Structure 1
Amino acid sequence: MSKAAPFLLSACLAIALAGCGNKSKPAPPPPVVTVATPLQQTLVDWDDYTGQFIAVDSVDIRPRVTGYLQSVAFKDGDYVRKGQVLFVIDPRPYQAVLDQAKGAEAHAQAALTNARTEAARGATLLAAKAISQQAYDTLVATERQATADMLSAQANVHAAALNVGFTRVTAPLSGKISDRRVAPGNLVTADTTVLTNIVNLDPIRFEFTGSEALFLKYQRGQGGGLHTAATPVQIKLQDEPTYRWNGKLDFVDNAIQPGSGAIRGRAVISNPQHFLTPGMFGHMRLMGSQPYQALLVPDAALTTDLSRQVAYVVGPDRVVAERVVVEGPLYNGLRVIRSGLQPGDRVIVDGIQRAKPGQKVSLRNGRIAVEPIPPAGPGAGFIAPLPSSATPPDQITAP
């Protein structure tokens, strides 16, 4: 073999390798993403509050006369009616005072009758000039004094009769009564001793406090003037998954509390079965907006670009474009989009990590559906479907 053969072999290998390096690699296929149009639904924003049920009226029952308690005429925890007898205080001392007052009244009546007779006789004698004018004036004055004594005696009878009536302590309102605080045989003092307490349960109130920020929102009209009375509210108890109690806002205080920066509000709720009890805690939601048409997408369809929230949409040419969006609250696992998307936009809901703006993608059609989840916790803003007659549109399927 000639000395040039190895050099020729190396040259051929180099040329072959160079030829292989010049062959172009096949382009990777476009990434596959799932797209869907935003779900459209008529919604209402609600603001959430924690509060406590209170009675519209709560009355401590105290005696109006002093005496020894004779009997109790109810069972602890009963529902009592207005005017029903609850306690009886020994009436005998007050009955004796009444009888004495009636005797004094009869005495005054007899004195008045006699004075009137004497005055009438004196008028006849004065006309016949049988008595002096001074004697007649004395008879008239005696009649007037007897009339005053009669009025005083009648007032004493009335006062004594009231005290006898007050020995029967009656319910000032209908409601649920507490237990008796005093047993029969004990001395009770007028206007001091608390015998029991009555609260009315239907309707019942729900008291809460709201932040100054929410109050300002209502004042500026963002809530549609919802700080006024008769705004609908919905309430759920601690062990209830849904807001089943309906009522209306009936009071907002006239000042913000300096220490907490909150303002007190109150709603009234019908409670015909007396299930709701004063002292119970609950979560209330207050309508925070007028009904509006919302666009909803999954939270997974959004990504953060610096301080902005971004959604990726796919145009007719299958090219990914970036849309800056403004988020709203969550509704059943979906995020409300305040602005940045249109109803017909094809939003990437799966595979967003594989997509880049300006990139062409392969499409797989999907749909956005509501998946019920427990309501938001206390203090968080949330939304709910329009109540009563409004019917939300069907779920939207991607083209």
Structure 2
Amino acid sequence: MTTTATSNAPHKKASTYLAIALVVATVLVLLFVIRLLDREPRTDDAYVYADTIDVVPEVNGRIAELAVRDNQAVRQGDLLFRIDPRPYQDALARARASLVALDKQIALSQRTVDAQRYNAQSARAAVERARAAAEQAADTLHRTAPLLSQGYVSAQDVNLARTAQRATQAELAAAELQARQAAAAVSGVDALVAQRAVAEAEIAIAELNLEFATVRAPFDGRVVSLKTAAGQFASALKPVFTLIDTRQWYVVANFRETELKGLRAGTPATVYLLSDAGRRFRGTVDSVSYGVLPNEGGVALPGGLPRIERTLNWVHVAQRFPVRIRVANPDPELFRIGTSAVAVLYPGRGGDAGHR
């Protein structure tokens, strides 16, 4: 019994040393992981995001041609759908015809105005002639009247001069009245010219509506949520489908507030998707959110601050804030909005820190 106890002592001592070594190694690994996470924060609370727009027609009408299908990739300028253009073609033709008719009316009115102006000029010339005759008759009377007392002229001569003077004054008054009437008759074509500007504006609107009847892709993207077909009546400002902007993809990662120190636009990052965890994608921080809805903030409204739930309600847990990461080399076949992702950040490092 003594020999057995003696032989087990070294064995127990070795087991003790091994246990201590394992504890120390575990602590060292834990410290390394904590330091690594502090230097390179990571989170799996992330998802893929891209900008989207609702594709809506700007005019009403029946869809005459639907050139895309759901989930199809399109290039900028590709035809998406076409509204029946006939009502807008007719409106454009009617506006152009109205302009032609108005131009003819302006030309005819201009000739009339020219004639009116000629009559006014003639009336003004008649006034000048009548005024000259009146002045001459008045001058004759002034010269003749003093000669009557000297016997050089007869009373009849003076009466004739006085009658001539009165007649020329009456003719002058009549000529001035005719001149005023002729001047008032000159109407001009200003009102018709103003109507022409309105007609031109109506043509521009009709051309724009006809252009709006054809809807094309504003950028490279992918069609989603298409739930209609040719023949459906499309209403202005009512979405027909959604178009994802595939020119740039992002990963929105929710990091704890304690990990935001040192983060800024341009901080390098690495992301990978759970759909293909073997591939790594480089990226940079595009922006860090400056607001989330607190748990005590009530119900989140559409378009308001994002709500990020805390996992423990009975412990004060650090709030998470969305960090938007711009992906440098996304795979267009792999990236989908809402795909789960993992993001690793490298604050305080150069632009190549995350390019592993």
Regarding TM over 0.5, the answer is yes
Percent identity, aligned pairs only, is 22
Q: Equivalent residue for 2:336? A: 277
What is the alpha-carbon distance in structure 1 between the residues aligned to residue 328 and residue 354 of structure 2? 18
- Aligned partner of 1:197 in structure 2 is 242
Following superposition of structure 1 onto structure 2, how do residues 1-399 of structure 1 map, counting pairs within 5 Å? 45-49=39-43, 50-56=45-51, 58-129=52-123, 132=179, 135-136=182-183, 139-140=186-187, 142-178=188-224, 180-192=226-238, 194-215=239-260, 218=261, 225-226=262-263, 228-241=264-277, 244-259=280-295, 261-271=319-329, 273-274=331-332, 275-288=334-347
Which structure has the highest strand share of the two? 1
**3-state SS of 1:248 partner:** strand
CA distance in 2, matches of 1:134, 1:207: 81
1:119–1:136 Cα contact (<8 Å) kept? no
Q: Deviating runs (4+, > 6 A) in structure 1? A: 31-35
Partner in structure 2 of residue 380 of structure 1 = none
Q: Aligned residue pairs: how many?
A: 257
Equivalent position amino acid for 1:47 in 2: P
Is this contact kept in 2: 1:46–1:289, CA < 8 A? no
Q: In 2 relative to 1, CA 127–269 (structure 1 residues): closer, same or farther, beyond 3 Å?
A: same
Amino acid at match of 1:148: A
Q: Distance in 2 between matches of 1:189 and 1:47?
A: 48
Deviation digits for residues 6-31 of structure 1, max 9, x if unmatched?
xxxxxxxxxxxxxxxxxxx9xx99x7
Q: Secondary structure at the match of 1:230?
A: coil
Structure number with bigger Rg = 2
Residue 178 to residue 208, structure 1, CA distance change in 2 (3 Å): same
CA-CA distance at 1:136 after TM superposition: 4.4
Partner of 1:129: helix, strand, or coil? helix
Cα displacement string for residues 29-51 of structure 1 (whole angstroms, at most 9, x for unaligned residues): 9x78799xx999x9782111221
Cα distance change, pair 116–83 in 1 and its aligned pair in 2 (3 A):
farther
Does the CA contact (< 8 Å) of 2:267 and 2:347 recur in 1? no
Deviation (angstroms), 1:199: 0.7
How has the CA–CA distance of structure 1 residues 248 and 129 changed in structure 2, closer, same or farther, with 3 Å as cutoff?
same
- Contact 1:201/1:276 (8 A) holds in 2: no
Q: Is the 8 A contact 2:56 2:236 kept in 1?
A: yes
C-alpha displacement of 1:74: 2.4
Distance verdict in 2 for CA 1:213–1:45, change over 3 Å: closer
Name the counterpart of 1:316.
Answer: none
Unaligned runs of 5+ in 1: 1-24, 219-224, 292-384, 390-399
Summarize deviations over 1:232-256 as a string: whole Å, max 9, x none. 0111111444561110101112234
- When residues 266 and 135 of structure 1 are mapped into structure 2, their CA distance, relative to the original with a 3 A threshold, is farther
**Structure 1 residues 202 and 125, CA, compared in 2 at 3 Å: closer, same or farther?**
same
The structure in which a higher percent of residues are helix is 2
Deviations 1:338-368 (A, max 9, x none): xxxxxxxxxxxxxxxxxxxxxxxxxxxxxxx
Partner of 1:323: none
Aligned to 1:359: none
Instruction: String of CA shifts for 1:140-199, please: whole Å, max 9, x gaps.
Output: 4x411011110111111111122222221222222112263221122221112x222211
Cα distance in 2 between the residues matched to 1:137 and 1:54? 73
Structure 1 residue 125: deviation in Å?
3.7
Rate the CA distance shift 1:213–1:249 in 2: closer, same or farther, 3 A: same
